[in-house]
């Protein structure tokens, strides 16, 4: 029983990441009709916003300590972060401690800018081009972004700590009278993604802007005929999608140590999630994300693997095949989106 509850929570947490990435991908598909192979790279850039912020906080004043020596026998360099020197040790170390959540403040403008620049500078010219061209150009862009990050941060994973107050475990079984401990940060991530998803839906549902975009997703031509400049709004949609991907990345860093190719690792998975959810359907993307996350967690149970060896490796793809064969347009796909 404990194991099942734990795996359910694991599934929720995995699913939150899948859902957030798929949500951004669907926004771009649904509104702009663009296959964005650089979406994984946006997720990665978000994660590296957190790394950058911590590195900035940790920029240090270097002084030599003659009493200690380094590996070559020279005096050891002692580093004091400037933030500790400026704001006092308590606030300074707290800033470093909370660098992951603080990085959200950095991520939002960075991602909006990256999204805006991508759309205006590149994607705009590819709306009328075949999907194959979109794949090639965004894939090329993804490689370029990756290599730039690799140049600055190296290829090894970089560990990011959750704030120390949130890095322990909490007893989630207390209500049921059981002792089931679960990492706090993973719960934080789940609630965070729930807020973001809710925010995006509310934005599309309750604002005029969102209404126009939804109308544009349903029938772009008619909205255009009504004299609404849909393109301008789509630029913002691209920024929004990039922002969602970036936020998904920045908060995920304490769970998964970021490295420069983490985006590629998520890319295929997120496409599968989007398609299982159904092209152009935002609720579908979110539902599919959680569904696949939970199924993947349960497939990793030893009891399940004993029955079907290797099932944990292929469960996502197997489920994708079954769903696509039984439901032609995924869980909630709309007719005519990306079927040509």
Is residue 168 part of the contact set for other proteins (CB under 8 A)? yes
CA atoms of 178 and 96, how far apart (whole Å)? 35
Contact with other proteins (CB under 8 A) among 104, 172, 236, 318? 318
Is residue 256 part of the contact set for other proteins (CB under 8 A)? yes
Among 2, 17, 7, residue whose Cα is nearest residue 299: 7
- In whole angstroms, how close is the CB of 173 to other proteins at the nearest point? 11
User: By the 8 A CB rule, do 274 and 285 touch?
Assistant: yes
- Closer CB to other proteins, 60 or 235, in the complex: 60
Q: What is the DSSP letter of 61?
A: E
Is residue 340 part of the contact set for other proteins (CB under 8 A)? yes
| Bridge partners for 17 per DSSP | none
Contact with other proteins (CB under 8 A) among 62, 67, 71, 177? 71
Is residue 107 part of the contact set for other proteins (CB under 8 A)? no
User: By the 8 A CB rule, do 57 and 42 touch?
Assistant: no
Chain positions 175 to 194 lying near other proteins, rule: CB under 8 A, are 181-183, 185-186
- In whole angstroms, how close is the CB of 278 to other proteins at the nearest point? 9
- Closer CB to other proteins, 49 or 118, in the complex: 118
CA atoms of 218 and 295, how far apart (whole Å)? 31
Contact with other proteins (CB under 8 A) among 63, 80, 159, 207? 159
Among 151, 159, 141, 153, residue whose Cα is nearest residue 52: 153
Chain positions 284 to 313 lying near other proteins, rule: CB under 8 A, are 296-298, 300-302, 305, 309-310, 312-313
- The structure tokens listed for 87 are 């704001």
Chain positions 25 to 44 lying near other proteins, rule: CB under 8 A, are 35
- In whole angstroms, how close is the CB of 189 to other proteins at the nearest point? 11
Among the candidate windows 153-161, 210-218, 242-250, 284-292, which touches other proteins by CB under 8 A?
A: 153-161
- Spell 65-100 as b/e; 16+ CB within 10 A means b: eeeeeeeeeeeeeeeebebbeeeeeeebbbbbbbbb
Residue given tokens 């009328």 in the structure block: 128
- The structure tokens listed for 73 are 């026998």
């Amino acid at each position: 029983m404990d194991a099942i509850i734990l795996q359910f929570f694991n599934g929720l947490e995995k699913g939150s990441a899948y859902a957030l990435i798929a949500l951004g991908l669907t926004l771009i598909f649904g509104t702009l009709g663009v296959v964005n192979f650089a979406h994984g790279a946006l997720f990665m850039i978000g994660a590296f916003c957190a790394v950058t912020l911590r590195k900035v906080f940790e920029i240090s004043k270097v002084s030599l300590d003659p009493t200690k020596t380094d590996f070559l026998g020279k005096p050891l360099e002692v580093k004091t972060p400037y933030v500790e020197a400026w704001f006092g040790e308590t606030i300074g170390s707290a800033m470093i401690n909370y660098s992951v959540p603080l990085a959200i403040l950095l991520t939002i403008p960075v991602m909006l800018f990256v999204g805006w620049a991508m759309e205006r500078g590149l994607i705009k010219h590819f709306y009328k081009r075949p999907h194959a061209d979109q794949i090639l150009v965004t894939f090329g862009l993804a490689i370029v972004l990756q290599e730039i990050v690799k140049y600055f941060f190296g290829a090894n994973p970089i560990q990011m700590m959750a704030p120390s107050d949130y890095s322990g475990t909490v007893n989630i079984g207390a209500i049921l009278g059981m002792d089931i401990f679960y990492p706090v940060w993973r719960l934080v991530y789940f609630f965070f993604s729930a807020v973001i998803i809710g925010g995006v839906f509310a934005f599309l549902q309750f604002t005029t802007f969102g209404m126009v975009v939804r109308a544009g997703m349903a029938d772009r031509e008619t909205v255009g005929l009504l004299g609404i400049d849909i393109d301008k709004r789509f630029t913002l949609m691209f920024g929004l999608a990039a922002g969602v991907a970036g936020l998904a990345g920045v908060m995920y860093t304490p769970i998964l140590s970021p490295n420069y190719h983490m985006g590629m690792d998520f890319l295929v998975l997120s496409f599968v999630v989007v398609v299982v959810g159904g092209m152009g359907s935002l609720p579908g993307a979110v539902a599919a994300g959680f569904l696949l996350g939970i199924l993947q967690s349960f497939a990793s149970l030893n009891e399940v693997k004993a029955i079907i060896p290797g099932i944990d490796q292929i469960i996502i793809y197997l489920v994708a095949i079954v769903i696509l064969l039984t439901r032609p347009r995924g869980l909630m796909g709309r007719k005519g989106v990306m079927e040509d």
